[in-house]
Structure 1
């Protein structure tokens, strides 16, 4: 778990608050010219686009070190040049260095991270998570189909919640960087406990910064 595989060149889409996990999907609406160019380039090559968060919303801001590369699984090309795409997560990656490129979109050299996709939680960890998730959902007024949740495997459940959780960029990044499923689950529980007690003075978002 967490061992680095081969180095690879990736075109990146820096987007605050948007994270992707292996095996999950992320729908995106692409409208900026540079990212329309990136999608066109990706479709002509290997269909890969790497999602990663910038450390600040400033143009050209430094990037966090860990992201997830996805494959364009579905694409709708609109008449005005925009795209609606669905990325399917392939692998987490760790940036080695940013490349000096002439393309309008940024590119990096990265090492792919080999995750154990068969990793599972203990019965105690799963029960503790579901208990905290129910409490969190009730406190936030979320409607959840718990029967469907109960049928999810551990990886889909923990990564799925991590991807859509209403936490800030730092919290989402910490979840993505967790080296094991158990560690990610433990952090999720801590964040839900913290967020559940939050009074909402800053808009109701968890802040780890």
Structure 2
């Protein structure tokens, strides 16, 4: 087997996890990220950068100690609205996952050599997909009963890969659980992990129906 093919990608460390298919709006005012968007806008479409989770510390300056997650997701730039003072409001959509192989800190913003990851359904995903759909329906019902206004979702897709990502993006989980779902090798494994998480969360909502879940719902992220 030959060596894996890598590509150079601009990186955006965030305290959240981006999944393929998830819309991610961002308000950018730090100089390095304004530069990142300006550089992207000079390139032909599609234009994308890598969103990687921060696993340790905080991205608050050049001297900040932090560890980036090994697996991230490309955010494809769909809209960019510049402001007179240099800020940008952008809308991105998660497209494909990558594994971060090497970091480059030579530019104002991080770049990395990344290897793109395949999207496989996995071994016999049908039965687990049916189970997860039922658990997810119950989860949304219990959230609504607890007064948490979850995001407007229609019926999740039939395709196991798409289903696994819609559910991963919709669950109210901490960053470690979200990152674990992003890193699953295939949809069947991701759906199995989601089954276990949904059983846990449904149990919590059943016992404590009034937990203040709304503050943790995925919405518009502001990284800086």
Segments of structure 2 that go 5 or more residues without pairing to the other structure are: 217-224
TM (normalized to structure 2)? 0.76
Task: Call closer, same or farther: CA 1:45–1:31 in 2, change over 3 Å.
Answer: same
Contact residue 16 and residue 57 of structure 1 kept, 8 A: no
Which residues in structure 2 correspond to 1:167-206 (within 5 Å)? Answer: 167-198=173-204
Which residues in structure 2 correspond to 1:137-152 (within 5 Å)? Answer: 137-141=140-144, 148-149=154-155, 152=158
Contact residue 157 and residue 163 of structure 2 kept, 8 A: no
Aligned-pair Cα RMSD in Å: 2.9
Using the TM superposition, give the Cα deviation of residue 15 of structure 1 relative to its aligned residue in structure 2, in angstroms.
0.6
Number of the residue aligned with 2:13: 14
Using the TM superposition, give the Cα deviation of residue 171 of structure 1 relative to its aligned residue in structure 2, in angstroms.
0.6
SS in 2 for 1:109: strand
CA deviation profile, 1:146-198 (whole Å, cap 9, x unmatched): 8x315654333321221232211101100000011111111112112222333
Segments of structure 1 that go 5 or more residues without pairing to the other structure are: none
Number of the residue aligned with 1:72: 77
Which residues in structure 2 correspond to 1:51-200 (within 5 Å)? Answer: 51-59=51-59, 60=64, 61-101=66-106, 103-116=107-120, 122-141=125-144, 148-149=154-155, 152-198=158-204
Contact residue 19 and residue 95 of structure 2 kept, 8 A: no
Size of the aligned set, in residue pairs, is 198
Using the TM superposition, give the Cα deviation of residue 62 of structure 1 relative to its aligned residue in structure 2, in angstroms.
1.0
Contact residue 120 and residue 155 of structure 1 kept, 8 A: no
Using the TM superposition, give the Cα deviation of residue 35 of structure 1 relative to its aligned residue in structure 2, in angstroms.
1.1
Using the TM superposition, give the Cα deviation of residue 108 of structure 1 relative to its aligned residue in structure 2, in angstroms.
1.2
